[in-house]
A = this chain, B = another copy of it.
Amino acid sequence: MKTRIGIMGYGNLGRGVELAVNAAPDMELAAVFTRRDPAGVKILSEGVPVVSADAAPEWKDRIDVLILCGGSATDLPEQTPFYAQMFNVIDSFDTHARIPEHFANVDAAACKAGKIAMISVGWDPGMFSLNRVYANAVLPCGKDYTFWGKGISQGHSDAIRRIDGVKNAKQYTIPIEEALEAVRSGANPELTTREKHTRECFVVAEEGADLARIEREIKEMPNYFADYDTTVHFISEEELQRDHAGMAHGGFVFRSGATGKNGEHKHVIEYSLKLDSNPEFTTSVIVAFARAAKRMYDEGMRGCKTVLDVPPAYLSTQSGEELRAHLL
C-alpha cells in the first residue's frame, strides 16, 4: 500500500511536494489543504481533492504523513505542534536559533498523540546539517565552514522591501571565490563575515524616491548588510520580473581537519549543492524524509525527530539488500 501524503499550504513548497510525491512510486497524494478558498486553488494533479485547512482533522485516518509547507516565521511554530496532535508531520522549519524551542513544542505534542514529527528538513537545515555532523564525527579536530549561494535570500529581500521608497527588491547572497579556494586548500583560514560572502541587491524604487538615501539605508542596515560588501542596482519592475524571478540557490559545507600524531595529515571534506530550484530541491529532501518518517512510525518510534535521527537506508525505496548490492 502506498504512503498517503497530505500537503498543508499550496505555495512554492506545496507545489514542489506535489511534484516529488508524483515522482515517487511508493507514495500517493491524498489531499491538499489550504487556508484560501479551495475552489480558487488549482493544483497539478488530477483527482486529488483540495480541502479547507479547517477540515484537515477529518482526514486524520486517511493520511500517513502530513507535510507542512508554511513559513518558519509565523506558520510553522503554530502549525507543527498543532497538526502533530493528529498526524505524523514533517516541516522545513529553518530558523536555526529557534530550533531547540520548536523541537520541544513539537516533541510534547507528538509524544502525547503517539505520532512522529520530523522538523527542519531541507538543505540548510537538512542536508548541510547531516554533512556537518558526519564531518565533525569523522574529523573531531578541525574547523567547519558553510557558504551559501549564489542565490536569493528571502529574508534580505524582505528587509530591503521594508525601506521607505522601495517597491520591490531581490537580494543575492554570493560566496567569495577566494574564500572558497582558501578553505579548499586546507589552509584553515579565519574568515570575517565580509570575507565570506558579498550581497548584491536589485531594487525597484518608487517614482521620485531618493535613490542615494535608499542605497545608504541598505548598505548601513545592521546584521543584514553593514558587515558585507554590498552592491545596489536600481532597475525597473519589468527587469526584476524578467531577470530575477529564478529560484536558483546552493552552497558549500566544508570541514577541514587533521589527523596523525601531531596533526600532520590534513583532510578536507566538501559538500556542495547547485540548485536550479530552491523550493523543488527542498521538497525533494522533505519527501524522502517523509518516507523515512512513515517507516519509523511503523516501527513504533514516536515524538520529534530531525534528519540526524534517521538511518539513511530509510530514505530509499530500495531494500537493504538492493542498497548493499548497488550503492554501498
- The segment from A55-63, A156-164, A187-195, A269-277 that touches chain B is A269-277
Contact across chains for A280 and B259 when beta carbons are under 8 A apart: yes
- Known contacts A19-B260, A280-B260, A280-B265, A312 near B130 by CB under 8 Å: yes
Q: How many residues of A contact B (CB 8 A)?
A: 68
Q: Across the two chains, which residue of chain B brings its CB closest to A132?
A: B327
| Contact pattern, A 112-131, Cβ under 8 Å of B = 1, otherwise 0 | 00000000100001010111
Taking CB atoms, residues of chain B closer than 8 Å to A261 are 19, 44
Q: What are the residues of chain B within 8 A of A96 when measuring CB–CB? A: 328
Tell whether A320 pairs with B328 under 8 Å between CB atoms, given A130-B134, A267-B274, A273-B268. Answer: no
Mask of A267-308 contacts with B, CB within 8 angstroms, 1/0: 111111111110011001100100100000000000000111
Given A270-B272, A311-B311, are A129 and B328 neighbors across the interface (CB < 8 Å)?
Answer: yes
Binary CB contact string for chain A from 1 to 27 against chain B (1 if under 8 A, 0 otherwise): 000000000000000100110011000
Judged by a CB distance under 8 angstroms, whether A266 is at the interface is yes
- Assembled-state Cα–Cα distance A112/B127 (Å): 37
Residues of the B chain whose Cβ atoms lie less than 8 Å from the Cβ of A328: 96, 99, 120, 125, 129, 306-308
Q: This chain: how many copies in the complex?
A: 2
Task: State whether the Cβ of A209 lies closer than 8 Å to any Cβ in chain B.
Answer: no
A209 CA / B126 CA spacing, docked (Å): 58
Give Cα distance in the complex from A271 to B313, angstroms: 18
Contacts of A24 in B (CB 8 A): 140
Could you tell me if B313 and A311 are in contact, using CB atoms closer than 8 angstroms? no
Measured CA separation A219–B130 after assembly (Å) = 42
Q: A323 on the interface (CB 8 Å rule)?
A: yes
| Interchain CA distance A321-B99 in the complex, whole Å | 10
Q: In this assembly, does A324 line the interface, its C-beta being within 8 Å of a C-beta of chain B?
A: yes
Residues of B within 8 A of A264 (CB): 276
Q: Binary interface profile of A, 235-272, with partner B (CB < 8 Å = 1, else 0)?
A: 00000000000000000000000011100111111111
- Cross-chain pairs A/B with CB under 8 angstroms, 13 sampled: A24-B140, A100-B321, A130-B134, A131-B271, A133-B323, A138-B315, A267-B284, A270-B270, A270-B273, A270-B274, A306-B324, A308-B328, A310-B312
Minimum-distance CB pairs A-B, first 10: A137-B315, A265-B276, A265-B277, A308-B313, A137-B288, A259-B280, A268-B274, A129-B328, A132-B327, A270-B272
Q: Show the binding face of A for B, using Cβ within 8 Å.
A: 16, 19-20, 23-24, 44, 96, 99-100, 103, 120, 125, 127, 129-134, 136-141, 184, 186, 259-261, 264-277, 280-281, 284-285, 288, 291, 306-313, 315-317, 320-321, 323-325, 327-328
